Amino acid sequence: AQSVTQLGSHVSVSEGALVLLRCNYSSSVPPYLFWYVQYPNQGLQLLLKYTSAATLVKGINGFEAEFKKSETSFHLTKPSAHMSDAAEYFCAVSVNAGNNRKLIWGLGTSLAVNP
């Protein structure tokens, strides 16, 4: 069965430090992959997506992610964390489900940014 695993439910970094949020997926066919961000008391917002084009995907707010088929990974990075990056981050994979496609969600990673 397809699944998404986000390693680390909580990640804490210092302001200015590298942000690395890990996502591994299982899928028998090339997937579409997404990262979403959720700020407190808000809905989810699309950060970036991979849809079989360039393997390095750039998103909003300075984030990027690299699709690595051999590692079945789609880790999210940002070179320098900002206090405003503190939020919940969700990885998702779009897979075939019969005649439809559906999103499989990771459980999320809460990012804290320390001054």
- Residue 84 touches other proteins, criterion: CB under 8 A: no
Q: Contact with other proteins (CB under 8 A): which of 46, 54, 60, 83?
A: 46
Q: Contact with other proteins (CB under 8 A): which of 24, 73, 74, 106?
A: 106
Nearer to other proteins, 48 or 81 (CB): 48
- Residue 44 touches other proteins, criterion: CB under 8 A: yes
Hey, is 23 helix, strand or coil? strand
Q: Contact with other proteins (CB under 8 A): which of 7, 86, 103, 112?
A: 103
- Residue 94 touches other proteins, criterion: CB under 8 A: yes
What does the alpha-carbon distance between residue 9 and residue 80 come to, in Å, rounded to a whole number? Answer: 20
CB 105 within 8 A of CB 38: no
- Residue 102 touches other proteins, criterion: CB under 8 A: yes
Count of residues interacting with other proteins (CB under 8 A): 21
What does the alpha-carbon distance between residue 61 and residue 107 come to, in Å, rounded to a whole number? Answer: 22
Residue 109's nearest CA partner among 24, 32, 50 is: 24
Q: Contact with other proteins (CB under 8 A): which of 3, 12, 14, 51?
A: 51
DSSP letter, residue 30: P
Give 3-state DSSP helix, strand, coil % of the chain, rounded to 5: 5, 60, 35
Point out which residues bind other proteins (CB under 8 A).
Answer: 32, 34, 36, 41-46, 49, 51, 90, 94, 100-103, 105-108
